[in-house]
Amino acid sequence: MPNETYIAILRGVNVGSTQVKMAVLQKIFEDAGYEKVQTYIQSGNVLFDTRRTDTLKLARDVEALLRSELKAEIPVLVLDTGALREIHESNPFIVGRNEDIGKLHVTFLAEQPETSRLDKLERDKYLPDEFLPGEKAIYLFCPNGYGRTKLHNNFFESKLKVTATTRNWKTVTELLRLAAGR
């Protein structure tokens, strides 16, 4: 079985007390046996290859690895290239509306939330910011910028009871480009 490319998206890296140099992060992954390890920008995005296929188990293993090596609790989401491509190609703010990509973000979810929790979210309550749920992702349009929205990771984690981490559209696009080009 050939290696597959995966994307690890770490929550809360280099935005608070969890400061990690990307060279250190890359070495941790390489020392653990992952191949073709590459980081992208300082927010905790790691591309790597492995023969393993269970993304939930990979995420838990990377969390344990980071806990051991960095002495930090860092939630991790792992996607294969196909899942990232599906999220990228399904953005309703581009596909249906062609919004300014500088105002778009994706909140990645560790698992699909319960439908009842999604149904309880009052989308009109947060205008002009908008969100639309997708498969293990929430698509965001924040016309005044992500820094001003109430639709942040903690909001979605609290309401949906799942781990969440957000990336801007440029980062999502670049991660897909890097993963697809391997």
- In SS3 terms, 107-150 reads as EEECCCCCHHHHHHCCHHHHCCCEEEEECCEEEEECCCCHHHCC
Q: What pTM did the predictor assign?
A: 0.94
Burial 133-158 (b: 16+ CB within 10 A, else e): bbebbbbbbbeeeeeebebbbebbbe
Q: Is there a domain that residue 72 lies in?
A: yes
Q: Which residue has the higher pLDDT, 144 or 14?
A: 144
Residue 17 reports pLDDT greater than 80: no
The mean pLDDT value for 43-58 works out to: 96
Q: State which residues form the domain around 132.
A: 86-168
Using the 3D structure, point to which of 83, 104, 124 is the last residue of a domain.
83
Please tell me whether residues 43 and 109 are part of one structural domain.
no
Please tell me whether residues 61 and 45 are part of one structural domain.
yes
Please tell me whether residues 163 and 95 are part of one structural domain.
yes
Q: Is there a domain that residue 148 lies in?
A: yes
Using the 3D structure, point to which of 67, 83, 99 is the last residue of a domain.
83
Mean pLDDT of the residues in the chain: 95
The mean pLDDT value for 143-163 works out to: 97
Please tell me whether residues 77 and 90 are part of one structural domain.
no
Residue 180 reports pLDDT greater than 80: yes
Please tell me whether residues 144 and 114 are part of one structural domain.
yes
Residue 96 has a pLDDT of 78
**119 CB-near residues (< 8 Å, 6+ apart):** none
Query: How many independent structural domains does the chain possess?
Result: 2
Q: Is there a domain that residue 102 lies in?
A: yes
Please tell me whether residues 51 and 14 are part of one structural domain.
yes
Residue 18 has a pLDDT of 81
Looking from the CA of 145 toward its CB, the CA atoms found within 13 Å total 2
27-41, 95-109, 163-177: lowest mean pLDDT where?
A: 95-109
Please tell me whether residues 17 and 43 are part of one structural domain.
yes
Please tell me whether residues 39 and 54 are part of one structural domain.
yes
SS3 of 69, please? helix
Q: Is there a domain that residue 57 lies in?
A: yes
Q: Is there a domain that residue 175 lies in?
A: no
Residue 157 reports pLDDT greater than 90: yes
Residue 16 reports pLDDT greater than 80: no
